Structures are given as C-alpha cells and as structure tokens.
Amino acid sequence: MGIGHVAVALGASRAAPRLNVGWLVFAALLADFLLGIFAFFGLEHATVPVDYASRHYLLFDVPYSHGLLALLTWSLIFGFLASRSVGLEARRIWLVVGLVVLSHFLLDGLVHVAGLPLIGKTSPKLGLGLWNHMPLELALETAMAIVGIAVYWKLAGSSSVSRYGMSIFVLLFTAMTWSQLLVTTPPKAQQLNVSWMVAPVVLSAIACGLDRQRERGVLVGGRVSKP
C-alpha cells in the first residue's frame, strides 16, 4: 500500500490530537524505512516477477521489517521513543503510535501475495493478494484516503493551512499511488533501497510541517484558532 498507510496515520490523529501527525505518518511507513536499511545491507530484498509489466508489483523477502513478530517489536520500540520524545500523554502516545506501526502488517497482509512471515524467515507467510486485482486495491486505498482526510479536517478545525495543505498532500500522494498502473519497467535495486529510506522521511516531514499550525493551536488553547 501507499496512500493507505498515510490514511491510517491521519485517522489515528483523532486518538492523539496533541501529537504532530508527522510522527504518525512516519510510524505508518516505518516498515518501509526499515526495509530500505535491511535491503542496503543485503538482509532483505525484492524480486521482479516475469510478468511485472502486467502485474505492476514486486515480490518481497522481508522477515525483519514486515514480519508480524518483527513489527510488533518495532512498534513497541518506536512507540516508546515517540512517547519519550514528545513528552505529552506518554502512555496514550505509546499505544497510538505503536498500533499505527503494527497496522502496516495488517494493510500489507491484504495486498501482498503470500510473503509476510509471522515469526521469522522460515515461518508461515501471509498475504491475501489484493494486488492481483490492482484497480480494486487502489480504489480501496483511495476510499481510505477520503476517510482519513475527513477525520483530519474535523481535527484541524479552522486551520486552513493544515486542512487544505494536508488535503493537497493526500491528493498528490493518491495520484502517485494510482500511477502504479502505468509502470511497466521494474525499478533497479539501488533505486528501491533509496526510495524506501527517503520516502518515509520526506512524507512525514511534509505532514509535520502541514500539521504544525493545528498542533500549535491545540497545545496553546486546546483548539485551533483562525489564522
């Protein structure tokens, strides 16, 4: 998934309104960031199926970044770090951020062809294969994006910068997600490694900047005032 992960982050913002959404976006994409690191060191990798031009997706060996046990561990670690760094409602932040990290397994489990391990490299692997019906999968992600931005609009209140900025951000990312249908040439391994590491950082930084006005309003007065 692409925009689907970000949609979960936006939806989760309602449970932790005092936390900048940038944290949640990075949490939702943490598994992909870790994939880039592990792939760089040769511990994980993606392979190109022979019919990539028609499938538009890759096959993955990702036990350390996307496995259920692995993500449960990463969710505990990153949730703790976020709660300590922010210093606000530590237990709630830990729980919300941790669940957003773990949501990556659930969403990828819907779309990946069986390849997400439960425990380790040799354990049973899950994947319902919704990628085999790519237009349906992308429509599902788009619906999630609409719900996510609707939740965020209500949370942002009268902050026009946050509301409209985040909406444009989500719209552009949704368009990028749909562009998968146009890709017929597989990316090179080096390009994948860089994109996996860079994209989560860039996307979460953009979300952080767009959410800053809403966040300031919540921290100062409990609500967002008009700019």
What's the pLDDT tens digit per position in 52-79?
Answer: 888 888 889 999 999 999 999 999 999 9
Domain for residue 61, yes or no? Answer: yes
d(CA 16, CA 162): 16
Which of these, 106, 83, 122, lies nearest to 31 by C-alpha position?
A: 106
Domain for residue 227, yes or no? Answer: no
Label residue 219 by pLDDT band (50, 70, 90): low
Domain for residue 187, yes or no? Answer: yes
- The structural domain count of the chain equals 1
Q: Does the pLDDT at position 142 exceed 80?
A: yes
What does residue 166 show for φ and ψ, rounded to 5 degrees? -65, -35
Predicted pLDDT at 220: 63
Other residues' Cβ atoms within 10 Å of the Cβ of residue 156: 28
Beta-carbon contacts of 159 under 8 Å, excluding residues fewer than 6 positions away, are 213, 214, 217, 224, 227
Q: Does the pLDDT at position 226 exceed 70?
A: no
d(CA 111, CA 67): 14
Interval 158-178 mean pLDDT: 93
CB 43 within 8 A of CB 30: no
Predicted pLDDT at 95: 96
Domain for residue 179, yes or no? Answer: yes
Domain for residue 112, yes or no? Answer: yes
Q: Considering only residues 162 and 217, tell me which one the structure prediction assigns the higher pLDDT.
A: 162
Interval 155-181 mean pLDDT: 92
Range of the domain at 152: 3-221
Predicted pLDDT at 182: 87
d(CA 125, CA 117): 4
Label residue 180 by pLDDT band (50, 70, 90): confident
Q: Does the pLDDT at position 224 exceed 60?
A: no
Look up residue 18 and give its amino acid: R
Residues in the chain: 227
Domain for residue 226, yes or no? Answer: no
Domain for residue 140, yes or no? Answer: yes
Q: Does the pLDDT at position 27 exceed 60?
A: yes
Predicted pLDDT at 115: 86
Q: What pTM, to 2 d.p., does this model score?
A: 0.92
Strands 59-61 and 113-117: unpaired
Instruction: For 38-56, give one letter per residue: b (16+ CB within 10 A) or e.
Output: bbeeeebbbeeeeebeeeb
Domain for residue 156, yes or no? Answer: yes
Q: Which 3 state secondary structure label does DSSP give 57?
A: coil
pLDDT averaged over every residue in the chain: 91
